[in-house]
Structure 1
Amino acid sequence: MAANLDPDSWMWLPGVDYAACWRVARQTADELNSLLAACGVARAQLRAIADTDAQGAPVVRLDGIAEGWLCLERLLCLAAYARRELR
């Protein structure tokens, strides 16, 4: 299994400020989590998680259970419907 590991996906690069990039991702994840909560999606169902990629770029990942993903699907359908109505 060790032969399948890609060092570029987990090794840190010298000179990259991963902490600063993670803080950017954290702020974005916090904002998204607040928006999800305001829409009635429980954090236990779906949440945004701050991360960085191997090159140090900020990344926000969504993690959740099926119920949370279904809530997000309904919200996105409502948003898509609303956008068509406004045009």
Structure 2
Amino acid sequence: MGGDDDFTDALAADLDPDTWVWLPGVDYAAGWRAARRTADELNGLLALCGVERSTLRAIADTDALGGPVVRLEGLAEGWLSLEELLCLAAHARGDSA
């Protein structure tokens, strides 16, 4: 295998069956559709706030039981933009960060 054992061991350690095994009879499509609606709304809000989709975006997914899950994925630039927005929102509410 030419020294790939470390890579293979690390990859196997990172695999979580709950994130990729589908159970029979679970309606994953319904959960994904609900997550997709929420992700689309969040992406719209991020865009309205000037956050480029290429730097931060919401992604629809499901959990092992088909429940809707929305993940945020992005580059450091996008996360810094989100941090700035959250600080502004906290300040507007009168909360200190």
- Please report the TM-score for the alignment, with normalisation by the length of structure 1: 0.88
Does 2:77 match 1:58?
no
- Asked whether 1:39 is paired with 2:49, we answer yes
- 1:12-40 deviations in Å (ceiling 9; x for gaps): 11111000110000000000000000000
The equivalent of 2:79 in structure 1 is 69
In the alignment of these two chains, the number of paired residues is 85
CA distance in 1, matches of 2:16, 2:78: 31
SS in 1 for 2:94: helix
Distance 1:8 1:41, change over 3 A: closer
State the TM-score, normalized to the length of structure 2: 0.80
Of 22, 25, 30, 1:12 maps to 22
SS in 1 for 2:70: strand
Shift of 1:8: 3.3
Q: CA deviation at 1:10?
A: 1.8
Matches of 1:12 and 1:31 in 2, distance apart?
27
Q: Which amino acid aligns with 2:20?
A: W
Report the CA distance between 1:55 and its aligned residue. Answer: 1.2
Unaligned runs of 5+ in 2: 1-8
Q: What is the RMSD of the two structures over their aligned residues, measured on CA atoms?
A: 1.7
Structure 1 unaligned spans of 5+? none
Identity rate, percent: 74
Q: CA deviation at 1:54?
A: 1.1
| 1:29-73 Cα deviation digits (max 9, x unpaired) | 000000000000000010000000111110000010010000000
Q: Give 2:43's aligned amino acid.
A: N
